[in-house]
Copies of this chain bind each other. A is one copy, B any other.
Amino acid sequence: MTSAPEEHLRLEGIGVSFGAVNVIPALDLSVRKGEMVAFLGPSGCGKTTTLRIIAGLNKPSRGRIMVGGRDITRLPIHDRDMGMVFQSYALFPHMNVTRNVAFGLQMRNIPSRDAESRAAQALDMVQLGHLAHRKPKELSGGQQQRVALARALVIEPSILLLDEPLSNLDAKLRDEMRVQIRALQQQSGITAVFVTHDQVEALSMCDRVVVMRGGRVEQFGTPTEVYERPATAFVANFVGRTNRLKGAITAEGTLTAAGHQLRSATTLPPGAVEILVRPHRIRIDDAAETANRVKGAVSGITFIGDLVQYAVRVGDAEVVVEEATRRDRSALAVGDTVTLGWSAEDTLVYPAGEQ
């Protein structure tokens, strides 16, 4: 999607402390022009803080921020040409919806008639055209969030910072908004940084994903890389659902867990290890030949919309298996004995105690 992998935004050794609390120790990051990068990470890991640093709302204690090769660490906020959607919306309470959205355009000296028509367009995009004259406090939570989104998008900034911009929207709307944001971003070549707690969002929408933890970058890669080749057990665990089994590698290099011998594509020195397998990569009673096969008893069944989750007791461990619901499967019942199978590539192994 990005034609040239030219670097656009770069954080160099950024550090932030609030009083005695060292929230971000030292962060390095490089985002390409026109790229959309997702920040994934547990609550409180420093995503919002990083975004605020980029926007210039917080000054870093250390390090510098470069945009297009130019050091902007000291550049005033309003000269940065960035758009930001705030986690708390931060709508202007004294302006109606249209004026909120048109604000950024007016700041760019766009004639007010033009600004209003572009604002109206942006509002239609977030499906709020009919509420253009309301004040923010007369809107529902999700409606406010969409106004905030429209306000940031309408200015087509060179860098767009989105802090959980869709967290209060329902699935349908979120899908639509995602498509809209992505289309606009690609079409105008905007570089975007997207904070989200929703992995589907991160993985499906963004060019690359940053997994953060305690103010540090754990992994920075494409969605496939992060999902398929997680750099650490933390990443594997955080991105996508996984089963975690305690295991060990013997002196001879054999991998064992839950009383079974397993095969993995990874090689590690002998010692205690953690084995991670994604629930939907496990087949139940499948005829096909797989590298790993274990037997267990179904101990729980949960229906979660498009999926069914089976909890299967294997030795002393519990393994969760996910399958798309389908009508042709003869329903399993709790207590049934099943055979689980998965491939060596799907068996991720990390040294124990890493997380």
Contacts and interface: CB of A to CB of B under 8 A. Distances in A.
Contact of A142 (B44, B239, B328): B44
Interface string A190-228: 000000011110011000000000000000000110010
Contacts of A44: 139-140, 142-143
Contacts of A167: 167-168
A100 to B, nearest CB: 16
Contacts of A168: 43, 87, 164, 167, 197
Given A203-B305, A324-B324, A171 B142 contact: no
Copies in the complex: 2
Q: How large is the interface on A (under 10, 10 to 19, 20 to 34, 35 or more residues)?
A: 35 or more
Given A197-B171, A237-B172, A280 B324 contact: yes
The winner among A167, A203, A224 for most chain B CB atoms within 10 A is: A167
A197 to B, nearest CB: 4
Contacts of A204: 302-305
A140 B18 CA distance: 12
A327 B198 CA distance: 24
A170 B43 contact: yes
A197 B174 contact: yes
A141 B164 CA distance: 10
B302 A278 contact: no
Contacts of A238: 170, 172
A172 B288 CA distance: 31
Contacts of A303: 203-204, 223-224
A209 to B, nearest CB: 11
A130 B44 CA distance: 12
Q: Which 3 A-B pairs have the closest CB atoms?
A: A43-B142, A170-B197, A204-B304
Given A281-B324, A322-B324, 19 more contacts: A18-B138, A43-B140, A43-B170, A43-B173, A44-B143, A87-B168, A141-B163, A164-B168, A167-B168, A171-B197, A172-B237, A200-B305, A204-B303, A223-B305, A280-B326, A324-B324, A327-B343, A327-B345, A327-B346
